[in-house]
Structure 1
């Protein structure tokens, strides 16, 4: 087997999902008459799916521990959004303390569920199912069946605001273009450094031609994306939040000992225990982290909606789980990446957005997303059977 075949086989899931995302984008760009990739729609696409991407990051870590999921994240997000609205509108608490307390509440909820799962031994499915029922009920209790709106501008800024252009150049947001150039330079430096390190330690690398082609393609996508945003209102604040989370959690999962422990747990729990991994601690912190990110998603969604409603968060967990599996996470755990989960989330977002533009009903949208999820998991099972 040559070098190219080894590289392709090792990254098959990622390649297939990226290609699928590109195909779906081109497909809907044609069918919608070019509406999909208009600057306004791209900005809306980011805002509409940011909270799902945030949840997908946390859900990925849960799935890595052995295919476990958190069914409570939608209810937790709705509950935290309701609490934050009550704090601001009924208790007159300023925005910043409200956001901090909201995130803390989500973290404590995650610790609560992590305790039952890791130290009591309640299966994650049951513990989080109970959490889904508990916090859905509490959301209805605290809101008393009514919605709270409108919310302060400072609260909604993170979900629906844009980074201001300090250059004052007019219609085109120069700051967005500048940030795109910086991102391109950082990406090139990172890839060159990674390639150099792989060669240094004798790992397989792609050919120079393939490497250069990849660099050129990604840089072109980054700058086309930022130029498109620059022609509307610039870079959404929520995009910055998502990018920061991607960078942080990519680093944690690939460069730190806790990240390696999560993968080791999912790969073989008994072997991880014999190697000295505190598996209970790993499971506890994975679900504590999920609670924190669920709270952040709740703040983002409530801010975007500019209202706290009793039904906020419904089915969020399903979209997050689907994003992870579509993005290449294994149903048995131990396999998956943050970037892959983001690709899966974007694929789901493009499907939703494209079908909505075309006027396809919600019923058919749900059915089509179900078929996509089934195909992704079937591909995972097939690829495993072929590798044995």
Structure 2
């Protein structure tokens, strides 16, 4: 019984994701899990994963959020459209400029938040209005399109199958490789923790988690193999997730985020430059917002002044649903990815079922409230 409770506690969101996916798969007559729709799910929610990873860095510092990310996406998208479509600038030069402007925006907002200690809510709320206004000025209220195919192929194409045939064998091979690497990393990490005397989950819980995630990886690989193969956006998302997953768990600056979220005063007294940590969190958030903007304009093949509307809510929702604490100091990149997929499955499933958009917003609001409530009640219980 105790092992079952531990198993449920450690894998709550994974189990919830599986249940929700099966529910919508049944309700949509299997349409949700059709290979083409799985690919659509990845492309439609790529920006959520990117923004949610950045938002996690902000939340970890003490429950801070960034309300300006949607407007930054609109601004960078407008800049990309102007440079690439209207000015005919070299694609790579335009991308570098867009990313640099994103970093500059993050530095401006980070300075006010970290060094002047203006509440992040106020600064990013001002940024939400400011950057949206700049985007409207750049585009003159008009939509810019189409983008050249060379740019679109960066984010909307598929990795060619070197094996050939009606089924994309490369997807299956890469699925097997990723599964083997994941299992090896988990086993090696567990062995090291046990050797060092660290607290670890039970063998059954660890094994169950490995089996579930391996099955999910292989199911995704087989699904993609029956459509067009591996989308390039999935490669980009995987790189971002791996880099930030390693950064938050295996590097000293990454652990500073958790320390600051746990107790900022204690972190400062122990020698951590908390101002710098907070500043870099917001610089990173704006940088990833620029990356998300480049993804979005390629997906829509246009740059519009209304782009990015409510994107900040999708990112925040994915973080809290994925297990990030509203108080800061708790959360993981893996959990955020699960939260983003969870949101994507709900959105896509309800759309296929033809549920009214207004009702969809109600349901997503209830899910977000439930996730935060669960976090708050858990914290109170642990303190008691």
Give your verdict on TM over 0.5.
Answer: yes
2:343 maps to 348
Query: Which of residues 285, 291, 297 is equivalent to 1:302?
Result: 297
Q: Does 1:42 align with 2:38?
A: yes
Whole-Å separation in 2 of the counterparts to 1:215 and 1:360: 35
Contact 1:7–1:204 under 8 Å retained in 2: no
Q: How does 1:1-388 map to 2 (within 5 A)?
A: 4=3, 12=9, 15-167=11-163, 169-388=164-383
Q: 1:376 to 1:210 in 2, by over 3 A?
A: closer
Structure 1 CA distance for aligned equivalents of residues 176 and 184 of structure 2: 12
Unaligned runs of 5+ in 2: none
- Residue 215 of structure 1 deviates from its aligned partner by 2.9
Displacement of 1:156: 1.6
Tell whether the 8 Å contact from 2:156 to 2:231 is kept in structure 1 after alignment. Answer: yes
CA contact (8 A) 1:7 1:205 kept: no
> In structure 2, what is the Cα distance between the partners aligned to 1:213 and 1:313?
38
Q: Given the two structures, how large is their TM-score scaled by the length of structure 2?
A: 0.96
Residue pair 2:11, 2:209 contacting (<8 A) in 1 also:
no
Question: Structure 1 residues 20 and 214, CA, compared in 2 at 3 Å: closer, same or farther?
Answer: closer
Q: Output the CA distance in 2 between the equivalents of 1:151 and 1:351.
A: 30
Matched residue SS, 2:197: coil
What is the CA distance between 1:311 and its match in structure 2? 0.3
Task: State how many pairs are aligned.
Answer: 383
Per-residue Cα deviation, 1:102-143 (whole angstroms, up to 9, x for no partner): 111111111111011111221111111111101100111111
Q: How large is the Cα RMSD of the aligned pairs?
A: 1.6
Structure 1 CA distance, aligned partners of 2:327 and 2:203? 35
* CA-CA distance at 1:86 after TM superposition: 0.5
Q: TM-score under structure 1 normalisation?
A: 0.95
Measured in 2, the distance between the counterparts of 1:258 and 1:162 equals 35
With 186-195 and 27-36 compared, the bigger mean Cα shift is at 186-195
Is the CA contact (8 Å cut-off) linking 1:39 and 1:231 kept in structure 2? yes
Q: Take 2:139 and 2:71, find their aligned partners in 1: how far apart are those partners?
A: 13
8 Å CA contact 2:6–2:205 kept in 1: the answer is no
